[in-house]
């Protein structure tokens, strides 16, 4: 279930307050490939263990957040920094 468009209009990063947008399919594939290799970490330091079907990214492209069953997981420690990926 995708995030509702009206909800997306008001969502922002809980840390930087930068607005969020949908993560592209290409970048989601890169992220999931890193997750499959146990090479993706949350900003809290824990390894991401489950592939994502949908994610949001800040408009400045620095932090991503998982979306589970249409609900964005906007917890600071569960943000995913894009700086850990060379293809971003």
Q: What are the tokens at 53?
A: 């079907």
Establish how many alpha carbons lie within 13 A of residue 14's alpha carbon, considering only the half-sphere containing its beta carbon.
10
State the total domains in the chain.
1
**What is the model's pLDDT at position 6?**
76
Q: What are the pLDDT digits (tens) for 29-77?
A: 999 999 999 999 999 999 999 999 999 999 999 999 999 988 999 999 9
Global confidence as pTM? 0.91
Instruction: Look up residue 6 and give its DSSP letter.
Output: H
**Domain carrying residue 44:** 5-84
Long-range contacts of 64-72 (CB under 8 A, 24+ apart): 64/23, 64/31, 65/13, 65/20, 67/2, 67/3, 69/1, 70/1, 70/2, 70/3, 70/4, 71/3, 72/3, 72/7, 72/11, 72/20
- The pLDDT of residue 1 is 59
pLDDT tens across 3-38, in order? Answer: 767 777 889 999 999 999 999 999 999 999 999 999
Predicted confidence at residue 88, as pLDDT, reads 75
């Amino acid at each position: 279930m995708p995030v509702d468009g009206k909800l997306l209009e008001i969502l922002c990063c809980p840390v930087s307050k930068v607005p969020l947008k949908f993560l592209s399919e290409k970048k989601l594939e890169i992220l999931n490939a890193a997750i499959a290799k146990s090479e993706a970490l949350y900003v809290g330091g824990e390894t991401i263990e489950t592939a994502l079907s949908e994610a949001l990214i800040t408009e400045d492209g620095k932090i991503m957040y998982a979306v589970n069953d249409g609900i964005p997981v906007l917890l600071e420690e569960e943000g995913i920094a894009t700086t850990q990926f060379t293809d971003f």
